[in-house]
Amino acid sequence: MRNQLSGTPQTLKDNIPRGACDLSGRRSLQVLGELAAARGVRVYLVGGTVRELALEKSAPDLDLALSAQTLNLARDLAAALGGTFVLLDEAERTARVVWQKEILDLAEFRAPTLAEDLRARDFTINALALELQAVLGQKPLDLIDPWGGLQDLAQGLIRVVQPRNFQEDPLRLLRAYRFAATHGFRLTPETAAAIPRYLPEFSRVAGERVRQELFILLAAPKAGSVLEEMEQSGLLTRIFPELLDTQGVEQDGFHHLDVFHHSLQAAALVEEVLAAPHKYFRDLAAELPSYLQAPHQVVLLKLAALFHDIGKPRVQGRRTDPDRYTFYYHERVGVEIFTATALRLRLSQAETRTVTRLISLHMRPFLLLPAFREGELTPRALGRLVRAARADLPGLFILAMADSLAGQGPQKPADAETVLADLADTAYHFLKERIEPQERQPRLLTGHDLIKFLGLKPGPLFREILTAVEEAQWEGAIRSRQAALDLARSLCRGEGPGN
């Protein structure tokens, strides 16, 4: 991954006083400073807070290390501010104070001295500290950097302070790549070499913590290249062991990669499509900004790309043609597999629904392409796709475009992406011009009508009839309540349009 240099060590050091000046006006730090001084407790801003100050960025959360009395000070700080005290780990003496939009994480020294405490942290770029008194202007501001973090920050390097720190908290294996993704940095050779040695320890990390770091990583615009680095170290399949089965699974002539590497490339290509949507779509591109505002939407799209073909190994078949493989219903199996993955990583139900919907539908655009090419795609078939995807229609076509771009086999049509973009616009206009206007109008037929006029009892037939009426409206076959009733009667007699 390209190393994005951050400046010289001196430049970064010069940035810190400006950021510290901004922090000095925070009431939360002023109150903490007063409480700590009254008890003779030393307090330091540490870790990501100092790192971001050097990079001239704001840190939304404040990390603080205290020499003693951490839990009592945190409780008193919350009480003085009218904020909330959250006990994180009593044995480790860590707590959180939430006040207004601020989050302050307080942790007690884990060693006799600050330097040793910093040595126990993950990476040198996070082993930086500033004394709170100095930040508040009560003494000279000197950066505490015993392990060369500022030099590594200037060079864009992620260096583990000492490899055994991975043993202390194996989540740091993932955090190394998280910082590579979010900051554009690269792992030092020594750090990269140490990671495989500690992979067996990763199973000790709780799913909630893995999810938090993974989502931050995947939200980065260039996470795709970092996923490839994680694959090379073995960490990616530690996080997603389900992907192991896809390695070496060959595909048909539309593809040039096995399922595993195709999926990795599709996730990276999601990023390319999102970076320049107008390059790949026309009218649908206008819908993307609002679609991507939903929480974690970019992350969920990349997860869908990683897992869209996860079911293929379980259903792989082969025709008489040695170059032709079949994977019937692999999307259904994929939904089952990802659902278990989501449970393990503690994804929310809404997040799981989004990804599984995209996995379950990812083949639908491609199945419609032959009829669309020939001008034979019916409104009913198109409407069923749009209705099934609905809120995730933009995401479905982003995934489809990335999927198509990731397949560069000799049998792939040269205009595949152009035709797919045309289908995306057609589906988008169908949603805006037919389905949504129709939904804003009173329904031609309701379940009450089926009971009153046709004598039907509530059951599965209700949904079949109401759906058939809705689809007939899409096609323009019916426009009145009477026509809808006539269609319902014919369906009860086994006549009318098929399902």
Digit-coded pLDDT (tens) for 252-275: 767 788 999 999 999 999 999 999
Average pLDDT over residues 291-320: 88
Clarify whether residues 169 and 47 are in a common domain: no
Clarify whether residues 229 and 245 are in a common domain: no
Clarify whether residues 264 and 281 are in a common domain: yes
Clarify whether residues 151 and 169 are in a common domain: no
355: tokens are 């990804």
Longest dimension (CA), the chain: 90
Instruction: In whole angstroms, give the CA distance from residue 386 to residue 392.
Output: 9
Of the candidates 343, 356, 344, the residue with the CA atom closest to the CA atom of residue 307: 356
Average pLDDT over residues 177-185: 96
278: tokens are 């107008």
- Whether residue 417 contacts residue 280, with contact meaning beta carbons closer than 8 Å, is answered with yes
Instruction: In whole angstroms, give the CA distance from residue 269 to residue 404.
Output: 10
- Whether residue 25 contacts residue 172, with contact meaning beta carbons closer than 8 Å, is answered with no
Average pLDDT over residues 244-258: 84
What distance, in Å, lies between the first and last C-alpha atoms of the chain? 51
Clarify whether residues 359 and 345 are in a common domain: yes
Instruction: In whole angstroms, give the CA distance from residue 114 to residue 116.
Output: 5
- Are β-strands 84-89 and 61-66 bridged in parallel, bridged antiparallel, or unpaired? unpaired
Check whether 323 has a pLDDT greater than 70.
Answer: no
Q: For the whole model, what pTM was predicted?
A: 0.90
Mean pLDDT for all residues in the chain:
92
Strand partners, 65: 44, 107
Per-residue model confidence (pLDDT) at position 499: 44
What are the φ/ψ torsions at residue 85 (nearest 5 degrees)? -95, 130
Instruction: In whole angstroms, give the CA distance from residue 218 to residue 274.
Output: 13
Clarify whether residues 419 and 373 are in a common domain: yes
Residue 4 placed within a domain:
no
Instruction: In whole angstroms, give the CA distance from residue 448 to residue 456.
Output: 9
Look-up: residue for tokens 């000790």? 204
Instruction: In whole angstroms, give the CA distance from residue 123 to residue 321.
Output: 53
Q: Domain limits at 354? A: 241-439
Clarify whether residues 135 and 13 are in a common domain: yes
Clarify whether residues 358 and 214 are in a common domain: no
> Where are the extended beta strands (E) located within 163-254?
186-187
> Where are the extended beta strands (E) located within 172-299?
186-187
441: tokens are 């109008």
Clarify whether residues 192 and 273 are in a common domain: no
| 3-31 pLDDT, tens digit each | 555 679 999 999 999 999 999 999 999 99
Strand partners, 89: 94
Per-residue model confidence (pLDDT) at position 2: 47
Check whether 467 has a pLDDT greater than 90.
Answer: no
- Are β-strands 102-108 and 94-99 bridged in parallel, bridged antiparallel, or unpaired? antiparallel
